[in-house]
Structure 1
Amino acid sequence: MIKLTMPDGAVREAEAGISGLELVKSISNSLAKKVLAISIDGETKDITTVLDKDASIKFLTFEDEEGRWALRHTGSHILAQAIKRLYKSENVQLAIGPAIDNGFYYDIDMEKRLTEEDLKDIEKEMNKIVKENLKLERKEVSRQEALDMFKAAGEGYKVELINDLPEDATISLYTQGEFTDLCAGPHVISTGKVKAIKLQSVAGAYWRGDVKNKMLQRVYGTAFEKKDELDAYLHMLEEAAKRDHRKLGKELDLFSIHEEGPGFPFFHPNGMVIRNELINYWREVHRRYGYQEIKTPMILNRQLWERSGHWAHYKENMYFTEIDGEDYAVKPMNCPGGMIVYKTQQHSYRDLPLRAGELGLVHRHELSGALHGLFRVRNFTQDDAHIFMTPEQIEGEIQKVIDLFDEVYSTFGLEYHAELSTRPEDSMGSDEMWELATNGLRNALEHRGLEYIVNEGDGAFYGPKIDFHLKDSIGRTWQCGTIQLDMQLPEKFDLTYVGEDGQKHRPVMIHRVVYGSIERFIGILIENYAGAFPTWLAPVQAKILPITDKHMDYAFELKKKMFDMGYRVEVDDRNEKVGYKMREGQVKKIPYLLVVGDQEVADGTVNVRCHGQKETRTMKVDEFIALLQEKIATKSAEY
């Protein structure tokens, strides 16, 4: 008998040699129908895997990431089988076909260039294979057997992959119907499990990612257990395409990126309004939470970056220059400058916690292929803060930071979840310091009752961190805020404070950002709001639309009145019909369009249309101004 430990700690005894599928059926037939794979001592395997020793077991469904990957990996094999069936005369050679986030792909070498119409035909054949409910059978063979098999089949890429494996390697193959592929797995039990498939696109991809190799065709797809889940995902993709911040950034004249500076965004007047409102709000919140603002230089010498550890751990992401024959670096992070500011004075325990905020422009070298609008750039403004404290103040300060995060994110209607990232391989500092720092973050999360995920080995090189992942209006998540506990830099920069005992002590430091970067946060907000910003953030808060020229004087009087009160108001004085102006104002996503004609001039009113609404209402001018004032003061997302 073997002992199998379940996720809840319960231990089940079973005969050695039982398969995962037999085990789950013995527990629950309904669960067996949902299970896609099995985790054995943390390693994902086929559900048919034989259990022959004591182990920790977890049954994986589509709700588990590993379960989704097994199903989508099978989707890639179904894709390859369908292509082999449809294009027998095309000398199709298969390369690799892994599961990826949200889907799968397969790299194909064939003479025919696949089109969107071809993808529809392939998808139909894939659905036939799903209906055939072909069992996936795993077989292990010797290296030589695998070589002989794939050479005979004319699969040169598979032969190359096998030749890269050790001489004594055991090769695993998966067969479904007439199709056999080289694969380590895992897979679901049959093609019938992959009930909802969609092919999305075809693109070029160099074999093994090397531009010196042949360009292959990479077919992308996704797969779900249920059609309604697939439909919801495809709808989300459609919404995401409409909300693409690069597209809306151009249409709303917010920002641009040019070949003169790839990864270096240019902000236009409309974009600067949003940027400045975010900064104004950041300053107001931080003042209330007891922060002081500092500013540190953008370029500092090599010795500073060597002392901070960035020269050894982050050099490949930095930009450099030479001044007076000495090496300097453009700062990729604000923290070393913050250390220098702290050291300009001798601090007492009475000064702590000391909270220093900085809106610091930083530069990081990103590969050109990774650049993406405002989401991945080479220069950005970090809304940094460094908090210096005593060890006893750690948890209380982390709780205050989370309070601040709660307030800021709720202002934008963004929910979040937290992830704790622990010590990476490329780290500095002692085991004791890392354990103390990690426990400090863990305790703060647990005492607050905040659920969190642990990302082992994903911390910064100087300390563990809590990352805050925001959920937007269509369900996507974005990593923005972070809290990093650091006991390394205070040591490296010899930071001290005088304690109650009159002796010098080493402070603990928190690095934290709320927006993450202002540029990226603007990109997220553009997509979250689909460009329709709340009134307090909108570049133009109201546009006045005079019906004819004789209403122009009234329109400009209104503009001056509201402009002088600090509101962002424009008049559309073009010689166009008011319906045309109205439609254009809606496209530009202006919160309030104010139509003025004979009746409005006579009554001292405006006819108000809110963005996204068909109905209009007539309001006294002062009544509308009071409405505008209330929406801005409360930072309301409603019009």
Structure 2
Amino acid sequence: MSAMFRITLPDGSVREVAPGTTPADVAAAIGPGLAKAALAAKIDGEVRDLNRPFERDTNLALVTARDEADALELTRHDLAHVMAEAVQHLFPGTQITFGPATDDGFYYDFAPKDRPFTDEDLPAIEAEMRAIIARNEPFVREVWTRQQLIDRWNQQGETFKAEWAAELPEGEELTIYRQGEWLDMCRGPHMASTGKLDPQAFKLTRVSGAYWRGDQKNAMLSRIYGTGWLNKKQLDQHLFRLEEAAKRDHRKIGAEMDLFHLQSEAQGSVFWHPKGFILWRQLEAYMRRRLDAADYEEVKTPQLMDARQWEQSGHWGKYRENMFVVPDEIPNTEDEGAVLSGEGDLMALKPMNCPAHVLIFKQGIKSYRDLPIRMAEFGCCHRNEPHGALHGIMRVRQFTQDDAHIFVREDQLIGEVRKFCDLLDSVYRDLGFEKYAIKLALRPEKRFGSDAMWDWSEQSLRDAVAAAGRDTQEYGWEELPGEGAFYAPKLEFHLTDAIGRTWQVGTIQTDTVLPERLDAAYIGEDGNRHRPVMLHRAILGTFERFIGILIEHHAGRFPLWLSPVQAVVATIVSDADDYAETVAAQLRAAGLRVETDLRNEKINYKVREHSLAKVPNLIVVGKREAEEGKVALRTLGSQAQTILTLDEIVTRLRNEATPPDLITGTAV
């Protein structure tokens, strides 16, 4: 008799099972409810099929819908296979390529026989997918040889799959998954059958083009996207978020509010209009007040720096392909690899500010008593992002960071990170964000510095977050292996916006590499030279992206202190024009940003137009208001009007427009 396998369950209990037993068998032995709920198994932490037999003594956890991350991954993977089967059934001769799960759904790339697919094909494909789900076809895992795969794909006319199979290594265990007669190469895992999917919890969303293997020299394929969830409620919530996101799109609202535009003459750079730049200036002024109050010193550094500086810092090797170089090619010399001196120096637009701040730090002798030095810069940087990665003002090539570097002694690090966490928390709340998560990005595989340095840096950040009381579930505390920068671990701050999306914005990194590479030092209490620790930190990230996030979070309805136009005084009749100008003048004298609308248009037309432009306060005046010295106030989103005296409207709006840091006294 074969030896029994010991299966350890999450509660610590152990079951002995015979070879050939599957996780599904264990689930059934525990109870019919668990057997029905189980979607897959975690074998020593790895998600596997429920019907794949145990191979050794194992720690077993059964995956159910409560394990949402794993359950969604399985669901979306299954839906991709179901979609591919549906497409090949409806459109014979279509070839399949690849179909992965994504963050909110799945896609599959196809090579249609007759014509590219269009969005009009999606309802029929959805209907066929539901028929496949209703048939409850089992997902069956099989191990094939490479030659079997090649033969199968050639027989079926699947030239793309045959090409891929021919490149797989000989001797490697290759698997396919079959549902009914349809199959595809796949590592898995999958759920037990198509019937585990909720037929009402998915939707095909769009069709686009995609090159085979991502290379524009290859054949153009049809990519069908879908979104998939565990139940219809989740799908409805997701579709609602998409609808809301479309309404809040910063590009759409930016045009309606006349904030900015983008055009091909300056790809990846923003043309800020007067109203958009008012928003920028208000945000910048607020951040400057907060930095002044927190004892930062503001600096300004050059746009162009010698390539040798970037090489010494380590950025040349890591970022060269994303840097704008002047000239963009090294001139011909006897030594083509040389960086020329004199007028032929190779220069680069800075992609970040940190090396320049080290150069300022190195001017003059620094003592241990001088630290910490908090050096801030609203620094304009350039990165040559791929054209396809550009997205409105969220991803651009020219951007301005709310950047700062804090030079500290090792014994000061935890206190400085804690102060930063408190400052960041206050700023986010002032800007309307109540929820954010903190994640610790740990050392990547390719990195500078010793393991001991990384151990110390990572633990210091853990200790600092703990000291700030933010290493808790409330703050979504999580560690991300391999996600750190090449020179330092970092804390990432992920904002949650009004419709539940998350945005990675703020960051702070503990860097001992750059001070070493650029020879930054201070004189310690012992009279010797010591390396400072350099904290790279940002709260907004970049002004461009953060303003885009603000637009979408507030749907253009900014807090009054940020609004480019805080009020419009609109007339009902031309007899009130002079009074409207008087009202506007008094509001401007109180420091408010006010426009007048004296056009010969009906007041309902003016209300609609200014509502579309997200003007927060519409002050309506007619002949009666002019005679009585009053105004009718209509706030954005409200149908009601409030009648106020001129003094009352000035006092009310002045108070409402005061920036939050000036109310709380957090600014200087």
TM-score band by shorter chain is: over 0.9
Question: What corresponds to 1:44 in structure 2?
Answer: 47
1:192 pairs, out of 167, 191, 195, with: 195
- Are 1:419 and 2:421 matched, yes or no? no
SS of residue paired to 2:148: helix
| 2:556 corresponding residue in structure 1 | 531
Q: 1:497: how far off?
A: 2.1
2:91 paired with 1:87: yes
CA RMSD of aligned residues (A): 1.9
Q: Secondary structure at the match of 1:375?
A: coil
The Cα shift of 1:106 comes to 1.1
1:301 aligns with 2:306: yes
Q: Report SS of the residue matched to 1:516.
A: strand
Secondary structure in 1 aligned to 2:242? Answer: helix
Written as runs of structure 1 = structure 2, the 5 A alignment for 1:272-287 is: 272-287=277-292
Counterpart residue number, 2:267:
262
Equivalent-residue separation in structure 2 for 1:519 and 1:153 (angstroms): 51
Paired with 2:360 and 2:387, the residues of 1 have a C-alpha distance of: 34
Q: Which amino acid aligns with 1:117?
A: E
Q: CA deviation at 1:439?
A: 0.9
Q: Paired residue for 2:101?
A: 99
Shift of 1:32: 4.5
Pairwise CA distance, 1:34:
4.0
Matches within 5 A, 1:16-31: 17=19, 18-27=21-30, 29-31=32-34
Report the secondary structure of 1:314's partner residue. Answer: helix
Alignment of 1:108-119 (within 5 A): 108-110=110-112, 111-119=114-122
Give, in whole Å, the separation in 2 of the partners of 1:12 and 1:620.
Answer: 79
User: Residue 122 of structure 1 is aligned with which of 125, 143, 147?
Assistant: 125
Q: Residue 12 of structure 1 aligns to which amino acid in structure 2?
A: V
**Separation in structure 1 between the aligned mates of residue 390 and residue 191 of structure 2, nearest angstrom:** 36
Contact 1:75 1:222 in 2 (8 A): no
- The answer to whether 1:234 aligns with 2:239 is yes
2:367 equivalent in structure 1: 348
Structure 1 segments (4+ residues) deviating >6 Å? none
- Displacement of 1:4 after TM fit? 4.8
Unpaired runs of 5+ in structure 1? none
Note if contact 1:348-1:498 (Cα within 8 Å) is conserved in structure 2. Answer: yes
Q: Does 1:552 align with 2:573?
A: no
- Of stretches 354-363 and 342-351 in structure 1, the one that deviates more from structure 2 is 342-351
**Structure 1 CA distance for aligned equivalents of residues 292 and 556 of structure 2:** 29
SS at match of 2:266: coil
On the 8 A contact 2:350/2:381 being kept in 1, the answer is yes
Shift of the 35–603 alpha-carbon distance from structure 1 to 2, 3 Å rule, reads farther
Partner in structure 2 of residue 365 of structure 1: 384
Q: Cα–Cα, structure 1 residues 350 and 24, in superposed 2: closer, same or farther, change >3 Å? A: farther
Q: Is the 8 A contact 2:116 2:221 kept in 1?
A: no
Q: Deviation at 1:438? A: 0.9
Letter in 2 for 1:53: R
The match for 1:15 among 17, 29, 34 is: 17
Superposition map of 1:304-323 within 5 A:
304-322=309-327
2:459 matches 1:439: yes
How many angstroms apart in 2 are the aligned matches of 1:230 and 1:361?
41
- The 5-angstrom pairing of residues 124-523 of structure 1 reads 124-195=127-198, 196-322=201-327, 324-414=343-433, 415-447=435-467, 448-451=469-472, 452-523=477-548
Name the residue aligned to 1:74.
78
Q: TM-score, normalised by structure 2?
A: 0.91
Contact 1:193 1:225 in 2 (8 A): no
**Could you report, residue by residue, the CA deviation over 1:11-61 in whole angstroms, capped at 9, with x for unpaired residues?**
634325332223344456545544433333443322323222234444444
2:96 corresponds to which letter in structure 1? L
Gaps of 5+ in 2: 328-341, 662-668
CA drift of 1:384 comes to 0.7
Distance in 2 (CA, whole Å) between partners of 1:124 and 1:458 is 41
Structure 1 residues 261 and 633, CA gap change in structure 2 (3 angstroms): same
Q: Aligned residues, how many? A: 633
* One-letter identity of the residue aligned with 1:425: E
The percent of aligned pairs where both chains have the same amino acid is 44
* Cα distance per residue 1:119-149 (max 9 Å; x no partner): 1111111112222222111111222222232
Residue identity in the other structure for 1:133: N
Residue of structure 2 in register with 1:566 after alignment: 591
| Superposition deviation, residue 517 in structure 1 | 0.3
Q: Is the 8 Å Cα contact of residues 382 and 517 (structure 1) preserved in structure 2? A: yes
Instruction: Please give the per-residue CA displacement for 1:198-233, whole angstroms capped at 9, x wherever unaligned.
Output: 000011111111112211111110111100110110
Which letter maps to 1:436? Answer: W
Give the TM-score of the pair, scaled to structure 1.
0.95
1:627 aligns with 2:631: no
Contact 1:3 1:11 in 2 (8 A): no
CA deviations on 1:51-75 (whole Å, 9 max, x unpaired) are: 2223444444454433312210110
**Distance of aligned partners of 1:494 and 1:7 in 2 relative to their CA distance in 1, 3 Å threshold:** farther
SS of 1:201's equivalent?
Answer: strand
Deviates more, 1:287-296 or 1:138-147: 138-147
Farther off after superposition, 585-594 or 487-496: 487-496
The amino acid of 1:368's aligned partner reads: H
Q: Larger deviation: 55-64 or 423-432?
A: 55-64
Say whether the 8 Å CA contact 2:590–2:654 is kept in structure 1.
no
Query: Displacement, 1:443?
Result: 1.7
Decide whether the 8 Å contact of 2:7 with 2:17 is kept in 1: no
